[in-house]
Amino acid sequence: MSTPAISLFVRNENKESLVCFGAIILTASHNPGGKDEDFGIKFNNSAGAPATENITNKIFENTKKMKIYKTLNSEKTFNLETDFSLSIEGTKVEVKIVSSTELYKENMKQLFDFDKIKKLFSRKDFSFVFDGLHGVSGPYAVEIFKNEFGVKTENLLNCDNLPDFGGHHPDPNLVYAKTLVEKMDIAKKVDATLVPDFGAACDGDADRNMILGKQFFISPSDSIAIIAAQYKSIKYLNQVKGLRGVARSMPTSSALDRVAHKLGLKVILIK
């Protein structure tokens, strides 16, 4: 699952009562991955949020005290299409197989107006391209952009998620997302009519993104300012009676301050 999808899954499991303690995510994030490259572990708590520093520090301290670790060897072949059980040192363990995309897609339908978005994608004067950078976002792009909005497969680049990201660096920026940057013609080398209107890319575990317009780059620091300025176009924000406030951290540009001022909202700076 992508990092946002795992967070959603944990929160959904815990809607009525605490049944999911947390989630472990094995990821190289936006770094090169594979057996000779980076590998990392994220832990999300029962609220679906990243573990706080005091928890990760305790985990790190415990790793320095470990004397042994155990592995599980099994001659049995498991079908990962259906739930199954196995025995570990006499304890029966139930393994539940879930869709990585279904819950996330249904949640997106609650947040955004899929009918309106589909109408945009069906327009002849609008073209779109997405680059999954061979990361985990590929299946989500296919499920939503292709199956829901009708985007052609050839406009969904590198959406076959690979363990080593195809040997590339899955960081969605102007340096590493070269294929998308060239297709969106940021250098303005070709006729603008030949360039797609909208481009996007995600990193390896799909919790960071890059947005490109026709021959121009949109700074991620401006993203929340754009969302705030266009909040009336977002289904969920209309359902909760609009914006109540906005908050920004150090990487967020001061464009949000100007948008908030125009909307009459208070800005809270998170230090």
CA distances from 59 to 46, 54, 75 (A): 16, 9, 32
Can 29 be counted among the known catalytic residues?
yes
Q: Which one of 29, 46, 85, 87 is the catalytic residue?
A: 29
Query: Catalytic positions, please?
Result: 29
